[in-house]
Structure 1
Amino acid sequence: MLTNRKYCESHAELHSNDRPSATKRGYGYRWRKVSKQFLKTHPLCKQCERSGRLIQATVVDHIKPHRGNMELFWDKSNWQPLCKKCHDRKTGREDRYPVYTF
């Protein structure tokens, strides 16, 4: 039977209006501290650099969306420095067309 749901049961919770707080999703004190240090050592937006522009990075982006996977969340090889504009653009694309692996 077809339903009018955008997500399967196991992923609907991630996209509901009662989404857990940022802290509950891993973005608490520890994340703020570690991401601030990461941006000190990686101060330029990677995406802007590829276009020949030198723009300050303000966001630590997860290259591959972690979707609640805490191992992937804390994997520094999955992090990149981005400016807010580039991060918002990337996140918008990913949220519009989410890819899940099982």
Structure 2
Amino acid sequence: MNNRPWRRLYNTRRWHRMRTAQLRDEPLCRYCKALGHVTPAVIVDHIVPHKGDEDLFFDADNLQSLCKTCHDSAKQSYERTGKLPGCREDGWPIDPNHHWSR
């Protein structure tokens, strides 16, 4: 992943300002919060992978705050499969596209 040319975008002043603002405005992990948990967020994630598209990379509406565990597991699984794993405390799936949620 470090050999991708857009990795340089993460070292820009603009990104660092956006990251700081995102974590200030949404300090808790969005995925954990959906499960009813309170977990501090440490990663600013691109909801739609940018793949080098600078407009998408710097789009504040395309950002979400996640804890490292959710970023490294649930989000990566979602990007691979298109399905968000897990369920809420009431037993309903987190994934709004799950057939039970329809």
TM-score, structure 1 normalization:
0.67
Q: Which amino acid aligns with 1:52?
A: G
Decide which of 1, 19, 31 is 2:4's aligned counterpart: 19
Size of the aligned set, in residue pairs, is 80
How big is the shift at 1:97? 5.6
Q: Is 1:42 the equivalent of 2:62? A: no
| Cα distance in 2 for residues equivalent to 1:92 and 1:22 | 21
Runs of 4+ in 1 over 6 A off after TM superposition: none
Structure 1 counterpart of 2:49, from 46, 65, 68: 65
Measured against aligned partners, the alpha-carbon deviations of 1:47-84 in whole angstroms (never above 9, x if no partner) come to 00000000001011110101111111111111111001
CA distance in structure 1 between the partners assigned to 2:36 and 2:63 by the alignment: 20
| TM-score, scaled to structure 2 | 0.67
Distance (whole Å) between structure 1 residues aligned to residue 19 and residue 6 of structure 2: 18
Task: Provide, for residues 17-65 of structure 1, a one-character-per-residue CA deviation record: whole Å limited to 9, x for no partner.
Answer: 8433722xx1013212320121011100000000000000101111010
Q: Do residues 79 (structure 1) and 79 (structure 2) align? A: no
Structure 2: which amino acid aligns with 1:37? A
Choose 1 or 2 for highest CA Rg. 1
